Amino acid sequence: LEVFNSLSAAHLQFLAALPPWMKVEANGETWVVVHAGLEPGKPLEEQDPNKICHIRYVDPRTLKSKGLTEDFQKPEETVYWTDLYDLPYNVIHGHHVHSFEVPVLITGPKGQKIIAVDTGCGYGGCLSAYVLETGGVFQVKAKREYARAHR
């Protein structure tokens, strides 16, 4: 919060102007980079920028995203968005810690590669970067625990 409050109007304008997703090509494959996830049943161009930044869990009957419960748990009768991911692109995303050590490769329902790069930096883990061309991972250990993990 301290860092956010220290940002200038120019910084905030820059951040607000960033695209909600980015499509890149690497080793003959198309990848989409998003903060959190993608809504099933929607083309990339119709994805809601607000949901891309927050999506984790989806109701499999309605395909609507659901937020965490008040105690930061998975909502009942939902699945993680990758279980229903139906676009033809591979994805790199963060926002949900799958491992405190290394990025995790998830295989989508149609064989898509989904790489979860959130390795818990905010919770004392690492800040991780994944290199698409080589599969290499670069990491920096957090200096401290900035928030308490809800496990």
9-18 pLDDT per residue, tens:
999 999 889 9
Beta bridge partners of 106: 114
Q: Look at residue 150 in the predicted model and tell me its pLDDT.
A: 64
pLDDT (mean) for 120-137: 95
CA dihedral sign of residues 106, 109, 113, 115? negative
Instruction: Indicate the pTM of the whole model.
Output: 0.88
- Judged by DSSP in three states, 70 sits in coil
Beta bridge partners of 21: 34
Place of tokens 């390795």: 119
Residue 149 has pLDDT above 80, yes or no: no
For residues 118 and 2, the model is more confident at 118
CB 108 within 8 A of CB 116: no
For residues 144 and 149, the model is more confident at 144
Tens digits of residue pLDDT in 13-44: 998 899 999 999 999 999 999 999 999 999 99
Q: Look at residue 71 in the predicted model and tell me its pLDDT.
A: 87
Q: Look at residue 104 in the predicted model and tell me its pLDDT.
A: 96
Residues in contact with 58: Cβ distance below 8 Å, sequence separation at least 6, in sequence order: 39, 40, 64, 65, 66, 78, 79, 80, 81, 83, 84
The 3-state DSSP composition of the chain as helix, strand, coil percent (nearest 5) reads 20, 30, 55
Q: Look at residue 3 in the predicted model and tell me its pLDDT.
A: 87
* pLDDT tier for residue 148 given thresholds of 50, 70 and 90: confident
